[in-house]
Structures are given as C-alpha cells and as structure tokens.
Amino acid sequence: MTSQIVVAGGINMDLFIEAERFPRPGETFEGEHFSTGGGGKGANQAVAVARIAGRKSAVELVGRVGDDLFGAELLRNLRSYGVGVAGVQVAQGESSGVALIFSDATKQNRVLPVYGANATCGEAQVADATRLVKGARALLVQQEIPLDVTLRCMEAARTRGATVFLDPGPARDLPDGFLRAADIVHPNQVEAEALSGVEVTTVESAARAAAAIRVQGVPVVIVKLGPDGCFVDSEEFTGHVPTFEVEVVATVAAGDAFAGGLAVGLSEGLSLRDAVVMANAAGALCVSKPGAQDSMPSRDEVDAMVRTGRLLRG
C-alpha cells in the first residue's frame, strides 16, 4: 500500500534535562529530572503524522540511525507508533544522532544536537525518498540532514506531484533553489527572521516576514508564533490564525506536531485555513504534555480540540 505521506529527515535520541534554570559558565547546578525518548525533527514529524492520521501505512520515514543501542531503540520506537521504516538505514560504524534538551522553569528549551548518522545521509536516502514518494500526496523535510540530499528529495517529490512541506529548522545557509523547491514553508520566529531579514515579534512583523519569504518563490508561507498562533501568506488565504489555550508543560516538538497536523489536513482535502487550524490544535496539544514523540496527539484529541477548544485572541 502506498503511504500517503513521506518524511525525510533527522532521527535522534533525545536526552531531556529539566532544571529551574541553566547553569552559568563554570557553575555546577543540580537538575530536577532526566529522561530519554525518540526525537529528531524528521522522526517527530513522522510520528505526528501516524498519530494524527490514525491509520496504518499513513507515513514512511527516510533517514539513518547508527549501529548502536540508540539506533536499535529508535527503530523499535518508530515501529511502535506505526511509522514505516523501510527507508531508515543503519549506518555501520556511526553513532546515532542525539540531542541534549534543556528545559527551565519557564518551560522554554534549549537544544544541543550532535547529528551522528544523520550527517551521513546521501545517495541511498535520495533513492529511497524517490521510490517511496511515488504516489504519495506529500513529502515533509527539515534541515537536519545534508541540505543537498534534502533538496534532491524535494525535487523528486515535486516531479512526482507530491506537495513539499519545508520546516526550515535548524536555520542554515541554504543552497540556490532550496526554498523554491518547496510548496509550503513553515518557519518559527527565529527561522523566519533568518529567511527574511525581518525580526518577528508580533503578528504584524510576521506578516512582513511571510511576504518577504513568499517573494523568494514560495507559494505558501506560514510563520509560527507560538502562543500567538501563526500568520499565513498565500494566494488561497492570507491572515492571522490564532491558536488554542492550553497549560504549557514543555515546548519541545510543538513545531513538529504542527507539521504533522498541517500535512494530514491538506492531504485529506481540507482548505488551507482549516488545515492550519488542525495544525495549531496539534501543536497546542503537544505543548500540554512532556516529551517529544510521546507528546504527539491522537486524531481524537486533535478533532476534539478543533471542535471544542478555546481560541486565544491575537
């Protein structure tokens, strides 16, 4: 059965540390809690799609893990969520990607990744993505594996009629034609500033940034604003879409939940605005729980939030 959505990107083991505050240089400051869990933007988005789509064979992931204990655990974890891993290869002699995620009392996080096997993605991953995207409706990509590999995957998807969703994180210098190879680009505030040169602090500045990114050849730009929702610039719909009110537990992977909700919504035929509302619901639900992949909401949760959740007014 052909998967509706393909994801190509990073696969990491997340190491979470919670503390009241971050230590100062030269200081040892005791943390409060430590845990591990599957992560990486590509893997997170694949899990989000699987959970929100709520059916088997909804998503296939393309990437690499190392031939270590983390790699074996990451593959087991992805399978447990229903993510297809036919496109996930084991890189012999390489360590799996890891990310240290520090969360303070304000629930904000700082992420320090070491990409390991992710950085070795190459021709094999382009071939896998090209094969898997045939007949798929969407390809989701980010910027955690080599950008030349990502670009070739994007081009293959466009050639085969799939919609390309680009999460431009982490922010990097992009090769020529990179943005133009995407149909939808959905940066956060920091990434939007990197792409546009516009500092994003308000809905109004998000609108300016989105317009500046769109003129670079992107049909749809969605600038994510955290608790202020997002701003959409496209031919179909342009405007601010507020999000839902929840108690924030951790902001890790909220953007990945958003990506999954957006891709599922559009792949199921929703209008752009309605798909963005679904994406906002997924992101809000994600931040209401701890962890990354463990915090991805189910379809029932997303539908209930869309139907009954209270909107924050921006």
**Buried b / exposed e along 222-250 (16+ C-beta atoms within 10 A):** bbbbbebbbbbbbeeebebbbbbebeeeb
pLDDT at 108 over 60: yes
Tell me, yes or no, whether 2 lies in a domain: no
Tell me, yes or no, whether 27 lies in a domain: no
How high is the pLDDT of residue 36? 92
CATH number at residue 259: 3.40.1190.20
Domain that holds residue 245: 8-21+35-308
pLDDT at 206 over 80: yes
Tell me, yes or no, whether 41 lies in a domain: yes
Tell me, yes or no, whether 141 lies in a domain: yes
Residues near 26 by beta carbon (within 8 Å), at least 6 away in sequence: none
Mean pLDDT over residues 86-105, rounded? 94
pLDDT at 59 over 80: yes
Active site residues: 256
- Between CA 178 and CA 154 the distance in angstroms is 9
Question: What does the block give as tokens for 240?
Answer: 């601010």
- Between CA 146 and CA 119 the distance in angstroms is 6
Mean pLDDT over residues 133-144, rounded? 96
User: What Rg do the C-alpha atoms of the chain give, in angstroms?
Assistant: 18
pLDDT at 312 over 80: no
Tell me, yes or no, whether 29 lies in a domain: no
Tell me, yes or no, whether 30 lies in a domain: no
Model pTM score: 0.92
Q: What is the pLDDT of residues 181-192, one digit of tens each?
A: 999 999 999 999
How high is the pLDDT of residue 311? 52
How high is the pLDDT of residue 310? 65
pLDDT at 222 over 50: yes
Tell me, yes or no, whether 229 lies in a domain: yes
- Between CA 31 and CA 287 the distance in angstroms is 21
How high is the pLDDT of residue 3? 63
Number of domains in the chain: 1
Q: What is the pLDDT of residues 226-268, one digit of tens each?
A: 999 999 999 999 999 999 999 998 888 999 999 999 999 999 9
Q: What is the pLDDT of residues 145-177, one digit of tens each?
A: 999 999 999 999 999 999 999 999 999 999 999
Averaged confidence pLDDT in the chain: 94
Tell me, yes or no, whether 28 lies in a domain: no
Smallest Cα–Cα separation from 200: which of 189, 186, 213, 185?
A: 189
Instruction: Tell me the percentage of the chain whose pLDDT exceeds 90.
Output: 85
